[in-house]
């Protein structure tokens, strides 16, 4: 099998270096428009990308010789996976590469939120030394509900060990996954006992706007929300409504529903910022980050290594 790969998005240099050592030809298409990508796809057996270009049915149909699509990251919503599989194109992702970074980011966000660090820091910088007003809450003794117990959910649960918390995990597509870090739980138990909810779900038709008013109303107690998964899993207007009512005590959001596939320049046009997003931007109950959970220097290299390993295993399986 030929080994010509089109690199559509920038990746850690190690990705190309390791594949070149294995006899692959890497073509830099990181500046190509989608039209330019479409015009050359039939020359390649592999494509490596992030989310700059939506790799849809048109791309897959144009890639007559394509054998694999490798995505640097976990989510696959920027690829028409169903169409790819129907055309015998192997889809590869790399959640193992950034799960640790994402888990640490989620931990940092919830600890900052509970201890009001994002508020206290600004106050001190402005000359305000406020102690009682910044009295926080401890993580210990609380129940953490995790939705989705794959690479990301498991990595987050692992980081919680030692904080004296109860961790409940719900995963619709897994069974018998209780381990030393989390207890397998029904959704009913998650609704009943959770103090802090962390989302680790892929974006799909099933999870699109899963977290809405009806979902929040099902919780027996007010909760904190962490979302380091995908923005469109959560209805932002529902978050705002429940922040106002007190059903959501605070939110740590690395992702927002208003992001495009490329996750870039969300705030570039201030006049078109949705009302619900404007509320989040002003709220002291909310911590925001620009889709960087999992976006560390270490994870950048790990993702490259994971992708290369999976590509080489794919080629080995084809030979056998």
Q: Are strands 25-28 and 46-49 parallel, antiparallel or unpaired?
A: unpaired
Tell me the three-class secondary structure of the chain, residue by residue: CCCEEEECCCCCHHHHHHHHHCCCEEEECCCCCHHHHHHHHHHCCEEEECCCCCECHHHHHHCCCCCEEEECCCCCCCECHHHHHHCCCEEECCHHHHHHHHHHHHHHHHHHHHCCHHHHHHHHHCCCCCCHHHCCCCCCCCEEEEECCCHHHHHHHHHHCCCCCEEEEECCCCCCCCCCCCEECCHHHHHHHCCEEEECCCCCCCCCCCECHHHHHCCCCCEEEEECCCHHHECHHHHHHHHHHCCEEEEEECCCCCCCCCCCCCCCCHHHCCHHHHHHHHCCCEEECCCCCCCCHHHHHHHHHHHHHHHHHHHHHHHC
Same fold flag, 4-93+298-319 and 99-288: yes
- Residue 308 CA to residue 261 CA, distance in Å, equals 24
Q: For domain 4-93+298-319, which CATH number applies: 3.40.50.1970, 3.40.190.10, 3.40.50.720, 3.90.1150.10?
A: 3.40.50.720
Beta-bridge mates of residue 92? 70
- For the chain, the structural domain boundaries read 4-93+298-319, 99-288
Q: Catalytic annotation on 291?
A: yes
Instruction: Output the pLDDT for position 271.
Output: 67
The answer to whether 12 is a known catalytic residue is no
Catalytic residue among 12, 50, 105, 230: 230
- Per-residue model confidence (pLDDT) at position 269: 66
- What is the chain's pLDDT, residue by residue, as a tens digit (320 residues)? 689 999 999 999 999 999 999 999 999 999 999 999 999 999 999 999 999 999 999 999 999 999 999 999 999 999 999 999 999 999 999 999 999 999 999 999 999 999 999 999 999 999 999 999 999 999 999 999 999 999 999 999 999 999 999 999 999 999 999 999 999 999 999 999 999 999 999 999 999 999 999 999 999 999 999 999 999 999 999 999 999 999 999 999 999 999 876 556 667 666 678 899 999 999 999 999 999 999 999 999 999 999 999 999 999 988 76
Residue 70: closest CA among 1, 11, 150, 14: 11
From 77, 184, 193, 259, the catalytic residue: 259
Please pick, among 291, 297, 298, 301, the residue that the annotation labels catalytic. 291
**What per-residue confidence (pLDDT) applies to 4?**
96
Could you say which architecture CATH assigns to the domain 99-288? 3-Layer(aba) Sandwich (3.40)
Examine the residue annotation and report whether 200 is marked as an active-site residue of this protein. Answer: no
Total Cβ atoms within 10 A of residue 261:
14
CB neighbours of 193 closer than 8 A, spacing ≥ 6? 143, 145, 166, 168, 220, 221
Which of 133, 137, 136, 153 shows the shortest CA–CA distance to 145?
Answer: 153
């Amino acid at each position: 099998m030929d080994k010509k790969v089109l690199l559509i998005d920038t990746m850690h240099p190690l990705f190309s270096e390791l594949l070149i050592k294995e006899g692959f030809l890497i073509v830099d298409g990181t500046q190509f428009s989608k039209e330019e990508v479409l015009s050359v796809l039939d020359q390649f057996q592999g494509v490596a990308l992030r989310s700059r270009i939506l790799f849809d049915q048109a791309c897959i149909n144009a890639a007559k010789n394509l054998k694999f699509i490798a995505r640097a990251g976990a989510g696959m919503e920027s690829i028409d996976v169903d169409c790819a599989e129907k055309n015998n194109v192997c889809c590869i992702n790399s959640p193992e590469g950034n799960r640790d970074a994402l888990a640490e980011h989620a931990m940092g966000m919830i600890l900052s939120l509970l201890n009001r660090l994002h508020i206290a820091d600004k106050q001190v910088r402005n000359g305000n030394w406020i102690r009682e007003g910044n009295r926080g809450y401890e993580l210990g003794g609380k129940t953490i509900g995790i939705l989705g117990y794959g690479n990301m959910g498991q990595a987050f649960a692992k980081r919680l060990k030692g904080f004296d918390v109860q961790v409940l995990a719900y995963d619709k597509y897994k069974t018998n996954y209780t381990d030393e870090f989390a207890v397998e739980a029904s959704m009913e138990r998650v609704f009943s006992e959770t103090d802090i909810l962390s989302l680790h779900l892929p974006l799909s038709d099933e999870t699109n706007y899963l977290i809405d008013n009806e979902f929040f109303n099902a919780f027996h107690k007010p909760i904190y929300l962490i979302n380091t998964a995908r923005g469109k899993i959560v209805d932002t207007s529902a978050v705002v409504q429940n922040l106002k009512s007190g059903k959501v005590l605070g939110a740590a959001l690395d992702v927002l529903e208003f992001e495009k596939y490329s996750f870039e320049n969300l705030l570039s046009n201030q006049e078109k910022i949705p009302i619900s997003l404007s509320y989040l931007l002003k709220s002291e109950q909310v911590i925001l980050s620009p889709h960087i959970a999992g976006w560390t220097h270490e994870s950048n290299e790990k993702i490259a290594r994971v992708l290369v390993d999976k590509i080489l295993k794919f080629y080995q399986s084809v030979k056998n």
